[in-house]
Chains A and B, each alone.
Chain A
Amino acid sequence: MADLIKCPSCGESNQPDQEFCHYCRTRLQPLTSSTKGADAPIKPGQLPTKKNTAELEPILPQWLRDARDTARKSAEDDAALAAKKAQAAPASSAPDLLAGLHSQADSDEDETPDWLASITGDTPKSRKAQAESPEVRWVELGDAKDFPKEEPPAKSETPAWLADINAANSKPDEKDELGDWFRAASSTDEPLQPAKVSPFEIPSSNDGTADWLKQMAADSMQDDGSGFNNKNEAFKAPSSSADTPDWLRQMNEQEDIKNETPLRNESKPAFDVPSSDTPDWLRAMGGVSEEPAQSADPFNFPGSGSTEPEAPVIPAVPDENMPDWLKAPSPVESASKPRKTGQLPAWLKDESNTPPEEEEVPVWLAETPTPVEPAAGKPEPFLMDDQSANLGDDVPGWLQAAAPQSSVFDIPPSEQPATAVSDSADAPDWLNAFKSVDASQQTPAFSLDESFESSAPAFTSDPLEEKSGEALFTEMPDWLSNVTESSSSRSSVTNPESIAPGELPSWVQAMRPVDSTPSRPVMSSSPQSSDQTLESRGALAGLQGVLPSVPGYAPTSKPKAYSIKLQASDEQQAHAALLEQILAAETEPVPIASFSALRTSRTLRWILAAVLLAVLTVASFAQTRIFSLPTDVPYEIGSAWQVVQSIPEGAPVLVAFDYEPARVGEMEAIAAPLFNLMKNPALTFLSTNETGALLADRFASGPMTSLNNGGGLSYSNLGYLPGGQMGIRAFAEFPSAAMPQLTGISSFSQFSAFILITDNADDARAWIEQTGSARGAIPFVVISSAQAAPMIHPYFESQQINGLVGGLYGSAVLEANNPGGPGTARAYWDSFSLGMLLAMVLILGGGLLNLGLGLRDRAAVREA
């Protein structure tokens, strides 16, 4: 029987290896895999791992350190006090069946925060630790070995700083947490004597409703003499029977008394409202309702004893001081005579055993599912339990986090679990709204109390109506038994010694939203609240049922299956296919013909340059005659030869020097042999290039100095002819006008011949085009560079020019056939021939290499 798992839903014990509960089929094993080690999320009931955070102490704020110190001191004091009380308390004679109820009662007392109790002047009670059976563990709590078997004595959950507040509240002259207006209102009223506060004096539960409103509601409710308050008193009634819980017996007695003397509660007020904390208007309203309470004590039952304090007499507020909404329903009337059932809301009607009337149920109550349908004469304390259970949960997080030494799971003791309910019929609408929250919607969605309230089967009318009171006592439902264990488990969490080391500081882990009441899910066994999935990770780690599945949102039937097959005709499909084809063609990347980048290899370039320079240098230096000059005279060269030789001696010959200075070496080598054939003509130099005149002078003073047996040439340099083609045209039309330096020539046709030396085909074309009409029959010979000769040759074919000598080849031809002997062309010819041969070899070799590489690549591609 060791290591059993208790179902969180039905409370039955199951084998540890069972995934689902054998009784209710509730999942026992979590769906999510738990992480191990330091990363393991904290579980409900599991204590935060203890961390050595001593180094973090200095960085804590001063107020927090003070609070921690104070809490340590008060915890030690409270522990000692609790130990004394535990020794002095008599052994419980209640059977196990009632253990849960007793525990719940204790827990209800504990659920009132100390600071709330201190406000009313009550001394907070220390918690009573209850040991859980070591053989049974809850699913949410993990393994049984995760928790200490022996729980240390519970310490007081009241931190020191809260104790200070209590002490401060005990002093009437000091300020408390209430506002000044509240205190001022109490000072104007008659001082009440809350020396002994009845258990019903707890203002209210921390369910979001203002305390003073709940206090007011409690006052009104007491005046009405509803059995709801009597139920609260039942928890404090002494046990008259060993087998019967006190509260149940008290309920029976209360019901009997209520039936007999429903409105004889005038002896004592239902609640001892601390008048010093009540504003005027509120006291006025409460005073009216408390006026009949002075003569009747609704809880003055035979079993209750006479421990109730004397209620203060609160004078009634004059009607003229009351607001209209308070005047309308006279509480005196409601206290003096029984209230009509129709004036009470449904939740009060239930308590007063009045048959509910459908037409009188408020909307907010009608929309809320009524969880309880008590049988006649058997009021149910579910609201009380529910609200009392919320006391501990309603302690604000900042308050819990600020008291690290006291366990965050501790719920301050509550001495008054009852919740005051005022007369909804007499209260205004906004007050009824608060009541509605108190009655049915006071717990948040993720609170375990919701399931407790909405789906507790024990409160259904069926078992209560079918069974008698004895059967009810003997057949205690499981959820009541689980309350004891939940309380014990909750107390086990408070054990500070069981804190295991972890990664986070303990006070940081204490701030995590760990559910301190893992046993509460057992209260909800209905299908509506069956979603008790424990969040094991994330921000909601430790919370259970935080995201419950809403029944209304769940699919009620199998979803209708729809066919996903496209209903399209063949034509539509053909169009779709065509569209897809078009889109595919549009989106298909078009491969760009990429060429391998021809990177110039510097090494190769240097090698070629070195080879070429070496060959040319050696050939030039050696003055070799390896290659003979070409003897065959091309037709254009022969024509040029004939033209030059036909120029008579002393005839004016126009020579145009239109080449760049960079071509001097080539052009002079080409032109010199041709000029060597002339018979001392009268040369006129002209140039359309700015540097042409200088080049003409260089030519006349250079290669031509050896002409005519060293006599040279007689020439006149006209210089630069501006205007490009327009200048040429002008010179062709009016030579003397274009070149004023020209003397003896009035027209272009007066020249015996025209010789153009150029390295540019465009210049040759310009001279050919612009002088065509003016030239007449004079011969026109072009001496061109090798680079321009191919483009000038067509003009020779068209007979627009009479001769063409192009390149060093033409010069070599002239020299080869010149009787004057070899000249510059012969000196350059071997080097030129070697250079041309080398170029051809390199070009052919490179071409063959490229061809071989291409064939290899193609073969590789073909093989691939």
Chain B
Amino acid sequence: MTFSLDLITGAVSFLITLLIFSYLIGDNPLFRIAIYAFVGVSSGYVAAVIFRQIILLRLFQPFAVAMISGSLLDKSLTLVPVLFSLLIFMKISPRLAGMGRVAMAFLVGVAAAVTIAGALTGTLLPQALGAINTFDMNAALARNIQPFEVIGSGAITLAGTIFTLIYFHFGAHPKPDGSMRRLGLIEIFAWLGRIFIGITLGAIFAGVYAAALTALIERIAFLINFIGKFL
């Protein structure tokens, strides 16, 4: 029997899989060994990737090229990331942390702008239009969907959207007994919205369970295949 790389990796994978499965009996050192190994290996790999693909290839190499053969504009453009990186690097010292505020402000501002613009143009408006278009007969017919199905699906989608939004409406008025309760109609819609939310969370839970079950099946199949190689 030759010890090939696949055999070694398969044996390590088999061992680590068993260590992870040992969590079934509770937190134990075997499980921790596997977790620590995974975290350590992942961190080392991530550090290597970041250094190689970001610091080296996107920071020092362009800067070096610009410094060597680039124009003034290139030098200036490549100097900005280096300068900002150094300013952010100053945050390791509490006394010099203030120097990194400019770079951080730039990053936060750009990230906020990108996120808000993307959410507005990529989620809010398109989702609103999608909720409206659920009753679009032409689109439904184009997708070979029957009109009653379109109406039913659209009605459920619209009701789910409205009821879910109403559920998160917390405006209330005081009652004579001192309690704070929402209006009766809103209370009913909120209750219905709670049902839709429950269904959604149930679907997500089912998806999580299905994903985990698939991963478990893959691991069991791996173990069976690995053991089957020696049988």
Question: Residues of A at under 8 Å CB distance from B?
Answer: 602, 605-606, 609, 612-613, 616-617, 620-621, 635, 661-666, 669, 690-691, 693-694, 719-720, 722, 724-726, 729, 740, 759, 765-766, 768-770, 772-773, 785-791, 794-795, 797-800, 806-809, 827-828, 831-832, 835-836, 839
Contact yes or no, A726 B130, CB < 8 A: no
Q: How far is the CA of A787 from the CA of B126 in the complex (A)?
A: 22
Could you say which residues of chain B place their CB within 8 Å of the CB of A768?
A: 122-123
Give B225's nearest chain A residue, CB to CB: A620
Whether the pair A827, B221 counts as a contact (CB closer than 8 A) is: yes
Within 8 Å by CB of B207, from A606, A790, A794, lies A790
Q: Are A786 and B122 in contact (CB under 8 A)?
A: no
Contact B220 A613 (CB under 8 A): yes
Interface residues on B, range: 35 or more
Tell me if A832 and B217 are in contact (CB < 8 A).
Answer: yes
| From A788, A806, A835, contact of B217 by CB (8 A) | A835
The answer to whether A770 and B118 touch (CB under 8 A), given A690-B50, A691-B45, is: yes
Mark B121-156 against chain A: 1 for CB-CB distance below 8 A, else 0.
111001101100110000000010000000000000
The 0/1 profile, CB within 8 Å of A marked 1, for residues 215-231 of chain B is 11111111010000000
Most buried by B among A691, A693, A794: A794
Partner of B213, one of A605, A794, A832: A832
A726 CB contact (under 8 Å) in B114, B122, B200 = B114
Q: A691-B45, A769-B119 are in contact. Are A807 and B53 (CB under 8 A)?
A: no
Q: Looking at the complex, which one of A606, A788, A791, A798 makes contact with B130 (CB distance below 8 Å)?
A: A798
Most buried by A among B58, B133, B216: B216
CB nearest to A741 among chain B residues: B57
Query: Would you give the 0/1 interface string for B188-223, flagging 1 where the beta carbon is closer than 8 Å to chain A?
Result: 000000000000100110111111011111111110
**Complex contacts, A809 vs chain B, CB 8 Å:** 210
Nearest-neighbour CB distance to chain A for B158, whole angstroms, equals 12
Interface presence of B162 (CB below 8 A): no
| A contact residues around B54 at 8 Å (CB) | 720, 722
In the bound assembly, the distance between CA atoms of A849 and B114 in angstroms comes to 50
Q: Please state if A666 and B24 are interface contacts (CB–CB under 8 Å).
A: no
Min CB distance B110 to A, Å, is 6
- Asked whether, in the complex, the Cβ of B123 is within 8 Å of the Cβ of A765, the reply is yes
B25 at the interface (CB under 8 A from A): yes
- B residues contacting A by CB (< 8 A) are 24-26, 42, 45-46, 49-50, 53-54, 57-58, 110-111, 114-115, 118-119, 121-123, 126-127, 129-130, 133-134, 143, 157, 200, 203-204, 206-211, 213-222, 224
Which of B58, B114, B126 sits near A798, CB closer than 8 Å?
Answer: B126
Residues of B contacting A836 with CB < 8 Å?
209-210, 213
Interface contact A725-B111, CB-CB below 8 Å: yes
- Residue of A606, A722, A759, A772 near B122 (CB, 8 A) is A772
Do the beta carbons of A787 and B214 come within 8 Å of each other? no
User: In the assembled complex, which residues on chain A have CB atoms less than 8 Å from the CB atom of B157?
Assistant: 797
Q: Is the CB of A786 within 8 A of B118?
A: no
Instruction: Beyond A612-B216, A800-B126, list 6 extra A-B contacts (CB 8 Å).
Output: A606-B25, A621-B224, A719-B49, A770-B122, A772-B126, A788-B207
Q: Max chain A CB contacts within 10 Å: which of B45, B50, B208, B213?
A: B213
Q: Is the CB of A835 within 8 A of B213?
A: yes
CB distance from A740 to the nearest CB of B (A): 7
Q: Bound complex: CA of A729 vs CA of B221, how far in Å?
A: 39
Q: How far is the CA of A757 from the CA of B172 in the complex (A)?
A: 44
Return the contact of A773 from the options B121, B200, B217 (Cβ within 8 A): B121
Given the known inter-chain contacts A620-B221, A666-B214, A835-B217, please indicate yes or no for A725 contacting B114, CB distance below 8 A: yes
Chain B residues near A786 (CB, 8 Å)? 206-208, 210-211, 214
Tell me the bound Cα distance from A787 to B210 in angstroms: 7
Residue pair B123, A769 in contact (C-beta under 8 Å):
yes
**Contact of B122 with A832 in the complex, beta carbons under 8 Å:** no
Q: State whether B220 touches A690 (Cβ < 8 A).
A: no
Contact B224–A807 (Cβ < 8 Å): no
Using A726-B114, A772-B121 as known contacts, say yes or no to A797 and B134 having CB atoms under 8 A apart: yes
- Rank and list the top 7 A-B pairs by shortest CB-CB distance, nearest first: A769-B122, A665-B218, A798-B130, A769-B118, A786-B210, A666-B214, A787-B207
How near does chain A come to B128, taking the closest CB pair, in angstroms? 9
Which A-chain residue is minimally distant from B214 (CB atoms)?
A666
Q: Given contacts A726-B114, A799-B130, are A807 and B220 in contact (CB under 8 A)? A: no
Residues of B within 8 A of A661 (CB): 42
Residue in chain B with minimal CB distance to A806:
B207
**B103 CB → nearest A CB, Å:** 14
Q: Which of B50, B203, B218: most chain A CB closer than 10 A?
A: B218
Whether B214 pairs with A794 at a CB distance below 8 angstroms is no
With beta carbons under 8 angstroms apart, the residue of A665, A790, A806, A839 that contacts B209 is A839
Determine the chain A residues whose CB is within 8 A of the CB of B127 once the complex forms. 794-795, 798
Instruction: Find the B residue at minimum CB distance from A612.
Output: B216
A836 CB to closest chain B CB (Å) equals: 7
What are the residues of chain A within 8 A of B224 when measuring CB–CB? 617, 620-621
B220 adjacent to A616 (CB under 8 Å): yes
* Closest A residue by C-beta to B157: A797
**A790 adjacent to B204 (CB under 8 Å):** yes
B residues less than 8 Å from A800 (CB atoms): 122, 126, 130
Known contacts A726-B114, A832-B213: does B218 contact A669 (CB below 8 Å)? Answer: yes
Q: State in angstroms the CA–CA spacing of A790 and B110 once bound together.
A: 30
- Sample of 9 A–B contacts (CB below 8 Å): A613-B220, A620-B220, A665-B218, A665-B219, A719-B49, A769-B119, A831-B220, A835-B217, A839-B213
B42 lies within 8 A of A666 (CB) = no
Which one, A766, A791, A839, contacts B118 given CB within 8 A? Answer: A766
* A748→B133 CA distance, assembly (Å): 28
Residues of B within 8 A of A693 (CB): 49
Chain A residues with CB under 8 Å of B215's CB are 662-663, 665-666
Tell me if A666 and B221 are in contact (CB < 8 A).
Answer: no
Q: Which among B49, B57, B122, B213 is the interface contact of A690 at CB below 8 angstroms?
A: B49
Q: In whole angstroms, what is the CA distance A807 to B212 when docked?
A: 10
CA distance A605 to B27 in the complex (A): 14
Q: With A and B bound together, what is the CA distance between A613 and B217 in angstroms?
A: 9
Contact B221 A828 (CB under 8 A): yes
Pairwise interchain contact B211-A663, C-beta atoms closer than 8 A: yes
Residues on B with beta carbons closer than 8 Å to the beta carbon of A772: 118, 121-122, 126
Contact in complex: B204, A808 (CB < 8 Å) = no
How many angstroms between the C-alpha atoms of A332 and B57 in the bound complex? Answer: 134
Task: Determine whether the beta carbon of B200 is less than 8 Å from that of A790.
Answer: yes
Closest to A768 in B: B122
Give, as a whole number of angstroms, the nearest-CB distance from A844 to chain B: 13
Q: Cβ of A806: which chain B residues have Cβ within 8 Å of it?
A: 207
| Contact (Cβ within 8 A) B49 A785 | no
| B19 → A minimal CB distance (Å) | 14
Query: Provided the pairs A666-B215, A722-B54 are in contact, do residues A808 and B210 lie with their beta carbons within 8 angstroms?
Result: yes
Whether A720 touches B49, Cβ cut-off 8 Å, given contacts A765-B123, A798-B126, is yes
Q: A832-B210, A835-B217 are in contact. Are A798 and B45 (CB under 8 A)?
A: no
Contact: A724 with B111, CB < 8 Å?
yes
A51 to B26, CA, bound (A): 72
Q: Once bound together, how far apart are the Cα atoms of A806 and B95, in whole Å?
A: 50
| Cβ-defined contact, A797 with B207, below 8 A | no
Q: Which residue of A lies closest to B227 (CB)?
A: A621
Task: Check A726–B214 contact: CB distance below 8 A.
Answer: no
Shortest distance between the CB of A776 and any CB in chain B (Å): 14
Residues of B within 8 A of A799 (CB): 130
B53 touching A719, Cβ below 8 Å: yes
Cα distance, A806 to B114, chains bound together (Å): 28
Contacts of B58 in A (CB 8 A): 722, 740
**Nearest CB to that of B213 among chain A residues?**
A835
CB nearest to B215 among chain A residues: A665
Q: How far is the CB of A584 from chain B (nearest CB, A)?
A: 14
Instruction: Give, as a whole number of angstroms, the nearest-CB distance from B57 to chain A.
Output: 7
User: Which residues in B have their C-beta under 8 angstroms from that of A666?
Assistant: 211, 214-215, 218
Instruction: State in angstroms the CA–CA spacing of A726 and B126 once bound together.
Output: 20
Q: How far is the CB of A627 from chain B (nearest CB, A)?
A: 13
Contacts of A665 in B (CB 8 A): 214-215, 217-219, 222
Residues in chain B near residue A621, CB distance under 8 A: 224
